[in-house]
Amino acid sequence: MTAPAPTRTEGAEERLFSRAYAAATISFAAVMFLTGFAALAVVPMLPMAARELDGVPLYPLVAGCFVAASLFGGVLGGDWADRAGAARPLAAGVVLAVVTLVVSATSTTIWQLAVGRFLDGVAAGMIAVAINTAIAHAYPDRLRARALALMSTCWIIPSLAGPPLAGLVAAWWSWRVVFFGLAALTVIPSLAVVVLLRSRSWQAPLEKPEPGLPEPDLPKPDPVEPDPSEPDSSAAGRASRPTLVVAAVVSVGAAMGQYAVSGWDVRHLLCGVAGLALLAVFVPRLLPPGTWRAARGLPAAVLLRGLTSGAYFTLEAFVPLLLTTARRVPPVQTGLAFTGAAIAWAGSSWLQGRLQGRVSRHRMVTAGALVMGAAVAIAAVGTLPGLPALTAAGAMVLAAVGMGMAAPSLTLLSLTHSPPDRQGYASSAMQTSQNLGQMAVMGVAAAVFNLFLGFGSADLPAYAAAFGLLLVPSVLAASLAVRARSA
């Protein structure tokens, strides 16, 4: 028996849904794009602002409080999305982003600038988690992977074009113009998102059963066979939801750690010890139980996000420093390395979206982590004096290929392991792990780097040691990826 052909009304309705999804995707992408610019474009002119505001000693706090605050923003957005849907935290996040840019632009003291950057981090965390949750709730399976890949690539161009453009604007006019300009550019996409979220039409499913046929039994992920040696991590994950107070304490602890590196007196030492103590006590409460031992399912996916993000962003920070200070590479060539990495990440992220259903997600994570491990090895070899100076620059491009494969795959795995009413929590846990991974791996790499310099070693061996350390998170991610698989 053949199913009746769709009527003209049904065809028009499906076209309406398609246009609604397109409008939603464009609005989400625009907000993520401008959020990336607000996070990254201001980096080159923050030292100018700190000098003008007589706050150079507090520059580490201003530079690092954005990442610390995004921890709280991610948990806030995830908890809010689980309770009331993704619309409200996303609308609140985009409005807060505009307000905080104005706060930073009108700064009269270094502490006001720090508050502006902190609040901007809260807004960025809320936006990222709310958008991922909205896509998970409303998009059909055939569009979800590509939409998440697009959201990931929306941070690539800001990381490439944002810093030099902001530097030029600050040099020609003022660093305040950068903040005011970003606020003005963010207003229109923010209004578009708020209007879009007031309309529920875009959340109607595209996949509808044919008239006269029973409701299709949509495939659902089968549970992974439990490991008898481990407790049920999925049940444990439902047992407790991280509180906003805990998230705020973790953000404060991370900010205290950033403040501690701005000086070497007793006050800064005490802040550093207190910050580490707060992180050690409260960070486990923000992550799914079993994260540190890579329990199967969501805990493993969350841990892998921290390992891969830490390795990649630390490599991205140290390679330009190596090229500029030790190898004396012209800034234009260093900028081309960022261009290559941006293109590589975008291409790799697009490819993994096209491979949905053909390659298991956990195998994609394994491949991405191995590629990043190879990139780290190339960066370490690139410190040898006999090799071309730009050898390490190629490591950035190769690492971006691996990260473009791993990051969207881990996001999809985390959503697969979470029921619909817990996908906001899963997104916030991934965001928390990413931020913690960046701070932890970069901190350890910097400690190793400074340790070698303290022993009187030359610059190149110190860089080689820091790059060699990054093999640890890369190899761990590759070996543990199977524990995040979905049946």
Lowest mean pLDDT among 236-240, 295-299, 376-380, 437-441: 236-240
Show which of 174, 203, 232 is a domain's final residue. Answer: 203
Contact present, 188 and 31 (Cβ < 8 Å) = no
In a domain, 3, yes or no: no
Show which of 172, 203, 234 is a domain's final residue. Answer: 203
Show which of 165, 187, 203 is a domain's final residue. Answer: 203
R_g (Cα) of the chain, nearest Å: 23
Find the helix or strand (DSSP H, E) in which 202 lies.
none
In a domain, 159, yes or no: yes
The residue segments making up the domain with residue 429 are 290-487
pLDDT in tens, 407-431: 888 988 888 887 777 777 787 788 7
pLDDT in tens, 41-66: 676 666 677 778 877 566 656 766 77
- In the predicted model, what is the mean pLDDT of residues 149-173? 71
Domain check: are 323 and 197 in the same one?
A: no
Integer Cα distance of 268 and 28 in angstroms: 40
Domain check: are 161 and 306 in the same one?
A: no
In a domain, 157, yes or no: yes
Q: What are phi and psi of 181, to 5 degrees?
A: -65, -40
For residue 306, the model assigns a pLDDT of 92
For residue 87, the model assigns a pLDDT of 73
Integer Cα distance of 346 and 420 in angstroms: 28
Confidence band for 398, pLDDT divided at 50, 70 and 90:
very high
In a domain, 274, yes or no: no
CA atoms within 13 A on the CB side of 166: 27
Q: Which residue type, as a one-letter code, is found at position 429?
A: A
Domain check: are 191 and 294 in the same one?
A: no
pLDDT in tens, 110-132: 889 888 888 888 888 888 878 77
**Helix 423-454 / helix 110-138 crossing angle, nearest 10 deg:** 140
Domain check: are 311 and 450 in the same one?
A: yes
- Alpha helices in 41-174, H assignment, sequence order: 46-52, 59-84, 87-105, 110-138, 141-153, 156-172
CATH number of the domain enclosing 196: 1.20.1250.20
Nearest to 31 by CA among 89, 71, 72: 89
Domain check: are 307 and 421 in the same one?
A: yes
In a domain, 44, yes or no: yes
Mean pLDDT of the chain: 75
Please count the residues of the chain: 487
Could you give the number of structural domains in the chain?
2
pTM of the model: 0.63
> Which one-letter DSSP state was computed for residue 382?
T
For residue 247, give Cα distances in angstroms to 42, 60, 243, 281, 282.
25, 21, 7, 12, 8
For residue 423, give Cα distances in angstroms to 135, 150, 202, 426.
10, 19, 19, 5
In a domain, 223, yes or no: no
Lowest mean pLDDT among 20-34, 97-111, 315-329: 20-34
In a domain, 135, yes or no: yes
